[in-house]
């Protein structure tokens, strides 16, 4: 709940407490009653119960009672009205918000779905948001869902193991899904349904226990990630091979200097269909191609300069992030990069 709405709810109740405290203090000063008797008289007056006038009531106390009734009853009525209005507004806004989310979710195409916005899922959402890709989150916990919504993410409140929930996020048109629920059973079931509803979708599933990994693969996951195993491996690498660990952190974590990216070559790229040495990638962008993944799945590590770059290939590149962004642009559209590289090649027959 936002601070302004919380303040609007609390303010009338603070006023009621102030009236009660003022009433008790007034009766205590105008009569010989104890503090408890004064508080008791204040409460039965404000609630209009009317048990009758107690002994020791003075004329000044009667005048005070008239004022207390007018002020107190008005304050209580105002508090009830404000609370009712806010509750109704909250329900209306919630209904409109859900309708808007479902409307936007129905328009999504070629997007990603994140099931579960816990520690793992929230981190995945942050990474995707930094890349500027379209994604939607499924989260059953309302507090977590509110937190994700406040960050500007598109969130559907529901259970990812429910078929209707997956349908509401356009699972049939999604290109990928992350099953990051804290329960392995939920991840297995979500994987099964996602694969059945979209046979072409790429599924990355979280495994908390090693025994869950083969089940997730059998259910249809393309990739299974175990945070516990990855974390322990990185800790061992940090101790045994600190230089390697530092390089991996620089290329995979949030670093402004160095990055490791996967870049798809489209048929519009100027260097598509030509050898790597003639692409000008290394000379002009100072980017190193450490591997190439072919469309059929073959992985070429440390490709030679004679390796042809084909449309659909995925370049695994290391370099400055600004240069990697430029390479991604070049891989998706024609440019003068190859022409410049070709102009530096020796003409045929000239030695």
Confidence (pLDDT) at 344: 45
Mean pLDDT (whole number) for 122-132: 89
Task: Record the tokens describing residue 301, joined without a space.
Answer: 């590590």
Statement: residue 122 has pLDDT above 70:
yes
Highest mean pLDDT among 38-42, 217-221, 285-289, 332-336: 217-221
Task: Record the tokens describing residue 281, joined without a space.
Answer: 């990638």
Task: Record the tokens describing residue 99, joined without a space.
Answer: 């309708």
**DSSP conformation class of 309:** E
Domains and CATH numbers, the chain: 3-98 (1.10.287.70), 108-226 (3.40.50.720), 241-343 (3.30.70.1450)
Q: HSE (CB half, 13 Å, CA atoms) of 111? A: 20
Bridge-partner residues for 139, per DSSP?
A: 157
Mean pLDDT (whole number) for 323-327: 87
Confidence (pLDDT) at 7: 65
CB atoms within 10 A of CB 50: 8
Q: HSE (CB half, 13 Å, CA atoms) of 123? A: 8
**Distance between CA atoms of 7 and 77, rounded to whole angstroms?**
18
Higher pLDDT pick, 81 / 315: 315
Mean pLDDT (whole number) for 92-98: 56
- pLDDT digits over 42-79, tens only? 888 887 776 777 777 888 888 888 888 888 888 888 88
- pLDDT digits over 7-34, tens only? 666 777 788 888 889 888 988 888 888 8
Buried/exposed 193-231: b ≥16 CB within 10 Å, e otherwise: bbbeebeebebbbbbeeeebbebbbebbbeebbbeeeee
What lies within 8 Å, CB to CB, of 223 at 6+ separation is: 202, 203, 204, 205
- pLDDT digits over 277-313, tens only? 888 888 888 888 999 999 888 899 889 989 999 999 9
**DSSP conformation class of 205:** E
Average pLDDT of the chain?
Answer: 82
- 3-state class (DSSP) for residue 170: coil
Q: Please, where are the H alpha helices in the chain?
A: 3-30, 35-46, 59-107, 119-131, 142-150, 163-168, 184-197, 212-219, 227-240, 242-252, 281-285, 321-332, 337-343
Rg (CA), the chain: 33
* DSSP output for 267-302: TT-TTTTEEGGGS-HHHHH--EEEEEE-TTS-EEES
Task: Record the tokens describing residue 154, joined without a space.
Answer: 């598109």
Question: pLDDT category, 91, cuts 50, 70, 90?
Answer: low
**Distance between CA atoms of 155 and 142, rounded to whole angstroms?**
10
Task: Record the tokens describing residue 54, joined without a space.
Answer: 């107690």
């Amino acid at each position: 709940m936002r601070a302004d709405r919380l303040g609007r709810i609390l303010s009338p109740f603070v006023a009621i407490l102030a009236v009660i405290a003022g009433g008790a203090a007034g009766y205590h000063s105008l009569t010989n009653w104890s503090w408890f008797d004064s508080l008791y008289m204040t409460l039965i007056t404000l609630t209009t119960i009317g048990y009758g006038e107690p002994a020791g009531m003075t004329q000044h106390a009667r005048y005070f009672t008239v004022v207390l009734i007018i002020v107190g009853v008005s304050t209580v009525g105002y508090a009830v009205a404000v609370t009712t209005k806010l509750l109704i507004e909250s329900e209306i806004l919630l209904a409109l918000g859900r309708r808007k989310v479902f409307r936007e979710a129905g328009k999504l195409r070629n997007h990603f779905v994140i099931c579960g916005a816990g520690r793992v899922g929230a981190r995945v959402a942050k990474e995707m948001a930094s890349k500027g890709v379209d994604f939607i989150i499924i989260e059953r916990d309302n507090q977590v869902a509110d937190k994700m919504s406040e960050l500007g993410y598109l969130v559907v409140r529901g259970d990812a193991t429910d078929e209707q929930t997956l349908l509401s996020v356009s699972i049939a048109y999604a290109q990928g899904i992350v099953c990051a629920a804290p329960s392995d059973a939920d991840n297995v079931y979500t994987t099964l349904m996602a694969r059945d509803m979209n046979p072409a979708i790429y599924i990355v599933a979280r495994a908390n226990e090693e025994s869950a990994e083969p089940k997730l693969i059998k259910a249809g996951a393309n990739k299974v990630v175990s945070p516990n195993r990855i974390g322990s491996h990185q800790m061992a690498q940090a101790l045994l091979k600190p230089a390697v660990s530092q390089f991996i952190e620089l290329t995979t974590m949030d670093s402004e200097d160095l990055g490791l990216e996967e870049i798809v070559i489209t048929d519009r790229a100027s260097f598509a269909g030509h050898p790597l040495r003639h692409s000008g990638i290394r000379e002009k962008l100072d980017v190193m191609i450490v591997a190439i993944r072919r469309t059929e799945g073959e992985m070429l590590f440390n490709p030679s300069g004679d390796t042809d770059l084909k449309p659909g290939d995925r370049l695994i590149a290391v370099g400055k992030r600004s240069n990697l962004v430029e390479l991604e642009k070049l891989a998706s559209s024609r440019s003068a990069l190859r022409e410049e590289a070709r102009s530096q090649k020796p003409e045929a027959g000239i030695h």
